[in-house]
Chain A
Amino acid sequence: MALETFRYDNRVVRKFAVATVTWGIIGFLVGLTIAIKLFAPKFLGYIPELTFGRLRPLHTNAVIFAFAGNAIFLGVYYSLPRLLKTPMYSKLLSNINFWGWQLIIVGAVITLPLGFTTSKEYAELEWPIDIAIAVVWIIFGWNMIASILKRREKHLYVAIWFYLATFITVAVLHVVNSLEIPVTLFKSYPIYAGVQDALVQWWYGHNAVAFFLTTPFLGIMYYFIPKASNRPIYSYRLSIIHFWALIFIYIWAGPHHLLYTALPWWAQSLGTVFSIMLIAPSWGGMLNGLLTLRGAWDTVRESPVLKFLVVGVTAYGMATFEGPMMSLKNVNAITHYTDYVIGHVHTGALLWNGGLSFAILYFIIPKIYDTELWSKKLANYHFWFATLGALFYVIPMYFAGITEGLMWKEFTPQGFLLYPNFLETVRQVIPMYMIRAFGGTMFITGAVLMVINLYKTARQGTFVPEVEDSAYPLVKKAEARGTTPFHRWLESKPVMFSTLTLIAILIGGLVEFLPTALIKSNVPTIASVKPYTPLELQGRDIYIREGCNNCHSQMIRPFRSETERYGEYSKPGEFVYDHPFLWGSKRTGPDLQRVGGKYPDSWHFMHMKDPTSTSPGSIMPAFTWLYTQNLDTSTTEAKIRVMQDLGVPYPQGYDKVANADLEKQAASIANDLKTNGFDADKNKEIIAVIAYLQRLGTDIKASEHKTASTGNSRSGSATTAGMN
């Protein structure tokens, strides 16, 4: 059997490295921009494309899919061929993967600031881009699996299992969560509504963290820690258990994002239980990574790559302990909707994803330029800027989060809310927002040092476009199943392996889905809950366009502190026509579920133009353009028809008369404002927004009103008394 020589392609690796660095810096800067806007709302003026609500999704998408995404491809395209002893299957597919992914990112950078968004977190991109993502992702998987099939190394190293699980699961998650019906080129409605939509979204959202920000980076950890320290992984046995336990358990934990919401409680409890169990595989993995360095800790002092890997893996351990703690209902009651979540996320994002990405950049760039890192000292500075920057970011957020959580729940001895004005709780944490921005600036400074260092490294070396390696071809002699240990056999069967992975991730999803999918026919529908009027529907879509849901929740939890502040807690039956759901996950501003009828139209009219006029000290942006832009009513018919297709009971043929109703309602609101002395034009967008806001939560208020007269009011909240 002849030794075969072949060449690994470094060109695509370099492309992904450049993309990782470029999008990283852009994503961080957008993050810093919105961080500044939280304490200086006038920063950059009130330009629609640069408001917090539109830039926040751009920040999350940029750092997750552009920065971390390109880092994943960088790690995979570097390590996979070397582990398989074969070049990637197709250079063409590699390049389509690269350019396709960058085009998608450019699409996001253009559409998100323009307000084209589905509102679903980390899945904000609209349907044409969703399709592009699916295509490029499948090309990535095709290239990977085809490479695996023509490998020269019989057994698949643990890193490759993590890459495979990433490909399979992200494909499933993306497709299921993106099922939507287009209305126009850049507007669609999800096929799910309300509770179901929320469950699907957080099954996706949670597992996007699991299978986009965790499993591929664990693969990277399993390859690059041994590589950088020149030692094999601590325990290969442990890595097998780590892999299967992690992918089997992770998928179940999604509902912990919806504790105390209108999601069925059995699903919430399931989410909590599995979250606690997740500590075991997560820490198993962390320890496996760290213990690899046992007896070699002195090398960590010398190597910036190992420093970033060690702090990254440690941060992973911290975040994966903290996450399950936040899934405990009593902890979640305080941390949810607060800045604590932002702190938690950034422990993972800055140090784990950021740290590992930096580590592999520092490892790969000198290798592919056949040189040493230009300056170890500068890389060490980067390390400290990144680590301290992350601490200056995360600690104030924890402090702010607990402050908010406690202030929202604080009662006077007489039983009134101590801080009935939400703004008091906002003002309290503004200094924390400032320190956070300082931490972010430090982190970015470090990243800029890295750019300089990598550039200089590239300049001093010579690029090696291809690396030669040699190996014996794989003997096509199947190991007999009976004599080979099962897992060893399994690892030589990539297709079987992938199938088992798919089954493992589907079980959890199905168990959560099946009963919830039946909810639609089982939730006792609330008779007073009616579909939105055409004007309200248009107003709701403006609410989505402006990203209001990034700062305002629409989900009142069954605590006395919340029912006192916001009104009756949210019921599943209230959201049956909400395509998409808009429960939100963060309260930078107050909940809006029952804001309808709370203030007069004129209050909203003044508030949206200049929030400080009605709420002194407010950090909400002024939405001045809503007062100059005419409402686009050309889409009303199509929107009503899609809603009908989705099962919203508008009468037959209503799409034709919807705009007449819309005009009527708009005129009545505008007239009302005019009589109160406001210069309101019925054709402007603000009228639709006011119509929507005034509708919020009123369906239930109406029925409550009815029962109040019979003396049965508040029976719902009575059952939750004491849960404050």
Chain B
Amino acid sequence: MYKEVLQSIEGIERYPVISLVIFFLFFVVLLYLVLRSDKGWLHHMAQLPLNDPELSKENQESEDPIHG
């Protein structure tokens, strides 16, 4: 049954190839961007939850390369 359904869609043979390409590119680009990202920025981001008025002073004064 499923074969009949699939065969009746025009150009069905291209679908899996397109999916594979989308998929592959998505992860390659993602990995590339992540590996290339700036260390200082990553550090700044990771500190974000720790900067708020309800925490002790020393945390707020952690070195922050973006906001100084």
Binding site for B on A (CB under 8 A): 79, 82-83, 153-155, 157-159, 222-223, 226-227, 230, 232-233, 236-237, 240-241, 244-245, 248, 264-266, 367, 467-469, 472, 485-488, 491, 507, 511, 514-515, 518-519, 522-524, 571-572
B47 to chain A, nearest CB (A): 6
Q: Which residues of B contact A511 (CB under 8 A)?
A: 15, 19
B45 to chain A, nearest CB (A): 5
B14 contacts the other chain (CB 8 A): no
Chain B interface size, under 10 / 10 to 19 / 20 to 34 / 35 or more: 35 or more
Is B46 a contact partner of A236 (Cβ separation < 8 A)?
A: yes
Is B53 a contact partner of A468 (Cβ separation < 8 A)?
A: yes
Q: Which residues of B contact A491 (CB under 8 A)?
A: 45
Q: Which residues of A contact B38 (CB under 8 A)?
A: 485, 488
Q: Which residues of A contact B41 (CB under 8 A)?
A: 155, 485, 488
A648 to chain B, nearest CB (A): 21
- The answer to whether A488 and B5 touch (CB under 8 A), given A155-B48, A232-B46, is no
In whole angstroms, how far apart are the Cα atoms of A579 and B2 in the complex?
A: 22
Number of A-B contacts (CB under 8 A): 104
In whole angstroms, how far apart are the Cα atoms of A222 and B47 in the complex?
A: 11
- CB-based nearest B residue for A160: B48
In whole angstroms, how far apart are the Cα atoms of A244 and B26 in the complex?
A: 9
- CB-based nearest B residue for A153: B48
Q: Which residues of A contact B28 (CB under 8 A)?
A: none
Is A232 a contact partner of B50 (Cβ separation < 8 A)?
A: yes
A79 to chain B, nearest CB (A): 7
A581 to chain B, nearest CB (A): 17
In whole angstroms, how far apart are the Cα atoms of A339 and B49 in the complex?
A: 40
Q: Which residues of A contact B48 (CB under 8 A)?
A: 83, 153, 155, 157
A1 to chain B, nearest CB (A): 11
In whole angstroms, how far apart are the Cα atoms of A472 and B4 in the complex?
A: 63
Q: Which residues of A contact B44 (CB under 8 A)?
A: 155
B17 contacts the other chain (CB 8 A): no
Is B49 a contact partner of A264 (Cβ separation < 8 A)?
A: no
Is A230 a contact partner of B59 (Cβ separation < 8 A)?
A: yes
- The answer to whether A232 and B34 touch (CB under 8 A), given A245-B27, A523-B1, is no
In whole angstroms, how far apart are the Cα atoms of A468 and B52 in the complex?
A: 10
Is A244 a contact partner of B30 (Cβ separation < 8 A)?
A: yes
Which listed residue (B6, B49, B66) contacts A227, Cβ 8 A?
B49
Q: Which residues of B contact A82 (CB under 8 A)?
A: 49, 52
- CB-based nearest A residue for B67: A472
Mask of B3-38 contacts with A, CB within 8 angstroms, 1/0: 011101100100100010010001100110111111
A26 to chain B, nearest CB (A): 31
In whole angstroms, how far apart are the Cα atoms of A117 and B17 in the complex?
A: 42
Is B34 a contact partner of A241 (Cβ separation < 8 A)?
A: yes
- The answer to whether A237 and B49 touch (CB under 8 A), given A245-B27, A264-B2, is no
Q: Which residues of B contact A159 (CB under 8 A)?
A: 49
In whole angstroms, how far apart are the Cα atoms of A571 and B50 in the complex?
A: 56
Which listed residue (B8, B35, B45) contacts A155, Cβ 8 A?
B45
Q: Which residues of A contact B12 (CB under 8 A)?
A: 515
Is B49 a contact partner of A226 (Cβ separation < 8 A)?
A: yes
A33 to chain B, nearest CB (A): 39
In whole angstroms, how far apart are the Cα atoms of A158 and B41 in the complex?
A: 13
Q: Which residues of B contact A245 (CB under 8 A)?
A: 27, 30
Is A236 a contact partner of B5 (Cβ separation < 8 A)?
A: no
In whole angstroms, how far apart are the Cα atoms of A468 and B53 in the complex?
A: 7
In whole angstroms, how far apart are the Cα atoms of A159 and B55 in the complex?
A: 19
Q: Which residues of A contact B46 (CB under 8 A)?
A: 226, 232-233, 236
Q: List 16 A-B contacts (CB under 8 A).
A: A155-B66, A157-B45, A157-B48, A232-B47, A233-B46, A236-B42, A237-B42, A241-B34, A244-B26, A485-B41, A487-B34, A511-B15, A523-B1, A523-B5, A571-B1, A572-B1
Most central of A236, A266, A519, A571 by chain B CB within 10 Å: A236
